[in-house]
Structure 1
Amino acid sequence: MRMARHRPSTDSQPSRRFALGLLGALPLATGGALASSPEIAEAATGTPRGGPRPGGAYDRFLKRLAERDEFSGTILVAYRGRPVLARAYGMADKERSIPNRADTIYNLASTAKTFTGLAVVQLVRKGRIRLHEPLGSYLDGYPDEVAKHVTVHQLLTHTSGLVNHILPGEGDNRVTNSVEEEMRLRSEGHRKAKPMFTPGTQHSYSSVGFSILGELVATVSEEKSFHKYVADNIFAPAKMTSTAYYTRPDWLTNKRIAHPYIYQTDGSRIDGVRNLDAGAVLNGGNGSNAARAFIGSGGGGAFSTASDLVRFSFALESGKLAGRAYTELFMGPKFPRKPRDDSDAATAGFAAYGPVASIARDQRLVGHGGGIAGGNTNWTIYRDSGWIGVILCNYDLDVGSIIAEERKAVLGTS
C-alpha cells in the first residue's frame, strides 16, 4: 500500500514565493559544481555582506569532504527564500548510477519530529488536545504510570522519561510489510514504554515519545491517520510537493529518492534499502535499519528535499501553518538541553514543541537534526538574520562538523 500524495497547487503566489519555486529547479552539475544559473546570480546580489558564498569556506569544506568520499548528499543555504549556496555530491543510487541532485529526496529521520510536534500544536489550537492533560485522557491501554502521569507537554519536550528505542526495526531485524502492520506493532511497542525517571524532572531524548504523539494525532484528528493528517495540514499548505511519508516500495522504485549507504566495519558501504540485514555499526550503533520499517511514524521517517524544507520554513514563520501565536508557542524554548559535547557548549539549547530552539551569538535558531543508518539530516532557521540552512546526506557521518561549518558561515564565528 502506498500513501496518497497531493498534487502541486496551481494557485498564483506572491513574488517572494516565486523565489522559492526556483529552489527545486536549481541545476547542479555532477561533482557538486553549480551550473550557470541567473537565479543564483540574482540571489547573490540580494544577500548581506558575509554569510555563505560559492567558493567560500563552507563550500570548500564540503568539497574536501566529498573528494575524500566522506560526504554524499545535498546542501542548501538560502537567504530570505533565495538560494545562495546549493551543492550536491555523490550518488543517490549507485546501482542505477543516479547522482544526488538539488531535487533529490532524502529520508529526514528525526528531523521529521518537527512535523509531528507541529501537528500536535495545530490540534491544540483547534481545541482537540490540551497540553497539560495526561496521555490517558486520549489513548487507552497504557500502564497507569504513563497514562496518569505523562502529559502531552512532557512528550513534546522529551521530558516524559520514556525510553528512546523499543520499536520495530530499532535494534532488531524485524521487517514490516504494510502500513497496518507497522502501525499495529508500534502501538504495541508504545504501551511497553515506562518512565526511567519522574516525568517532567529531566530531559532525555525519546523517539518512542514522538511515535506516541503520532498515534495521538491519528486518534483525535478527523483524518484518523497520522500520515494523512500531516500531508493535508502541513505538506499541502506549505507547497511541499515532493515531501511525503513514502513507503519502502517507493524507496526502492522512485528514482528521486536517495538510498542510505550504511558504513561497514571493513570500510565499505552497503545500500540499506536493498540489504535490510545491514544495520548501523558506527558510534555504538544498535544494528537498526530504517528501511526495515514499511513507513515512517511520528518518531520520524518522512522524506523531503532541501527546497521543500525552505518552503516549510517560510510557511511556518509566516503563521500559515498554525497562526502567529501558536507558531511562537511551537518554536519557543521550553526546557534546557545539555550540550552534545564541548563544541556545542557555547550554544544555549532548549527543547521546543518538536524542534530545538537555540541561542548562538545572540541570535535565535530553530531546527532539528536526524540520523539513520546510512543517512544524516539537519534543518535550521536563523530567525534573526533571514538565513535557512539544510543538510541532507545519504552516508553515515559526523553531521555535527558540517553544522558547525554552516553556523560559522552564517553567524560569522571563527
Structure 2
Amino acid sequence: MNYIFKISILIIALFIISCNNKNKDASEKELKDDYSARIDSLIETTSPRLFNGVILITKEGKTKYSREYGYSNFEDKIPISIEQTFRIMSNSKQITAVLILNEVEKGKIDLQSSISTYLPNLKQDWANKVTVHQLLNMSSGIVDIEKSLIFEPGKGYRYSNPGYGLLGRILENITGITYIQAANNLFKELGMNNSYCYEFDKTNSNLINGYWLKDGKVDLVEFDSIGFSKQEWKDFIPAGGIISNVHDLNIWDTYLHNGKILSPAYYQMMVTPSNRGPHAAFNNDTIGYAYGLRVHDRHQINHLGHGGRGFGFASIKFYIPEKDVDVIIWENVYSSNPDFMVADVIYYFENEIRKIILSSTLVK
C-alpha cells in the first residue's frame, strides 16, 4: 500500500512538472513572439483604409510569420493566396541594378561613363553628361526622356522611372539580348520559378487582379485600358514591370544578401548609399538611395529595401542584415480616394508593420 502511494505521488509530481514546463515553454514562446498578434490586429482594421494582401516574414531562413488576408478576386470572392503572383512594381529596380552590375563586373559597362557611350542613338543634349551610376542612384535629374534635366547630374535626388528604362536599353545594347530575356534567365538560374517580365498578349501565369479602392468600394483595374504603347511598356519593365510572388522574392533577398548573386565588392556597391531622398514607405524619412535599394542607415536598426505601387498594387520589401530578417508585404488594393492618395496612406500598413518588426524580439 505504501509502495502504491509513493508511486502515485511520483506520477502526480511528474504530471505537475510536465504541465509547468509546457506552460513555461508557451510563456517563453509568447515572449519571443511579440509581433504576430499585433500584425493580426492591425490588418483587421479598416481605418484609414482596408488591408488586402499577403505577408511573409522570415529569420535565418525560417518562416516567423505568414498571413493571407482578403481576396485575389473580389468579384468571385476568391481568397488571396501567398502562392499567387503580383506586380512587384518598383521592386523591379533592384533586379535591373543586379543585371547592370553583372555587366560591370565583366568589364562591359563602366559606371562612371556617360550613357551616350552605350546609347549612341540617344540624341538628348544631356546624354553626354549623365552617367550609368547616376541613373542607378536617382541623381540623373531625368524626369522625362524628351525634357531637359531638372538639375545638374549628380547634384540632387529625383526618383526616375525613365532613368531605369534607359538602364534597360543599355543592357540590351551591351548584351545583345532583350531585357526580358536577361531578367527571365536570371530568375531561372536562381530557381525563381514564379517570376517573369510582364508582356502584352502573352499568358501571365497566376497573376492576380489589382483594384482601386474608393469610398470603401473596390473596382477592378483594367490594365489593358491604361494605354501603354509597346515601346512605353518595354521602357517601363526595368523600372516596374516584373511579376513575382513572396516566396520568390524571399529567395531573391536570401541570395542577394548572402553573396549568392553578386560578388562581395559589387554587392557593397549595390547596398552603399550614394544619394539621399525621402520615401513614404519608410515613414517619409530622408534615407540613403543605393542601386535600386533604399538604405535606412540612420535608423538605430539598419535595414534596406524598396517600396512599390501602381496599377492597384502597393508593397514594401525590406531586409535587416544584422539579424537576417526578411519582410515582404504585398497588397492588391490601392487607395484612389482623393483624400487618401497621399503616399503615407497608400503605405499605411507597410509602415506600421515595419515599425512593429523594428521594435520586436525579431531584432533584439
TM-score normalised by structure 1 residue count: 0.71
State whether residues 213 and 219 of structure 2, in contact with CA within 8 Å, keep that contact through their aligned partners in structure 1: yes
CA displacement at 1:319 relative to structure 2: 1.5
CA displacement at 1:293 relative to structure 2: 4.5
Of the three residues 50, 63, 76, the one matched with 2:44 is: 63
Of the three residues 268, 273, 287, the one matched with 2:217 is: 268
Of the three residues 289, 298, 312, the one matched with 1:351 is: 289
Which residue in the other structure is 1:123 paired with? 103
Which residue in the other structure is 1:386 paired with? 324
Q: Which has the higher helix share?
A: 2
Deviations, residues 142-168 of structure 1 (Å, cap 9, x unaligned) = 2353221000011001110000xx5xx
Cα 1:299–1:274, aligned 2, differ >3 Å: closer, same or farther? Answer: closer
Which residue in the other structure is 1:405 paired with? 352
Which residue in the other structure is 1:88 paired with? 68
Equivalent-residue separation in structure 2 for 1:274 and 1:412 (angstroms): 38
Tell me which amino acid in the other structure corresponds to 2:195. T
Indicate yes or no: 2:193 matched with 1:244. Answer: no
Which residue in the other structure is 1:336 paired with? 276
Equivalent-residue separation in structure 2 for 1:70 and 1:289 (angstroms): 33
Tell me which amino acid in the other structure corresponds to 2:264. R
Tell me which amino acid in the other structure corresponds to 2:117. S
Which residue in the other structure is 1:201 paired with? 155
Which residue in the other structure is 2:133 paired with? 153
Equivalent-residue separation in structure 1 for 2:121 and 2:156 (angstroms): 25
Cα 1:69–1:151, aligned 2, differ >3 Å: closer, same or farther? Answer: closer
Tell me which amino acid in the other structure corresponds to 1:155. L
Which residue in the other structure is 1:110 paired with? 90
Which residue in the other structure is 1:17 paired with? none
**Which consecutive residues of structure 1, in runs of 5 or more, have no partner in the other structure?**
1-43, 167-189, 280-287
**Which consecutive residues of structure 2, in runs of 5 or more, have no partner in the other structure?**
1-25, 336-344
Identity of aligned residues (%): 23
Cα 1:341–1:273, aligned 2, differ >3 Å: closer, same or farther? Answer: closer
State whether residues 96 and 167 of structure 2, in contact with CA within 8 Å, keep that contact through their aligned partners in structure 1: yes
Indicate yes or no: 2:206 matched with 1:227. Answer: no
Cα 1:341–1:75, aligned 2, differ >3 Å: closer, same or farther? Answer: closer
Tell me which amino acid in the other structure corresponds to 2:44. K
TM-score normalised by structure 2 residue count: 0.80
Cα 1:274–1:373, aligned 2, differ >3 Å: closer, same or farther? Answer: closer
Equivalent-residue separation in structure 2 for 1:342 and 1:230 (angstroms): 27
Tell me which amino acid in the other structure corresponds to 1:406. I
Cα 1:105–1:343, aligned 2, differ >3 Å: closer, same or farther? Answer: closer
CA displacement at 1:313 relative to structure 2: 0.6
CA displacement at 1:300 relative to structure 2: 1.0
State whether residues 114 and 128 of structure 2, in contact with CA within 8 Å, keep that contact through their aligned partners in structure 1: yes
| Alignment coverage as a number of residue pairs | 325
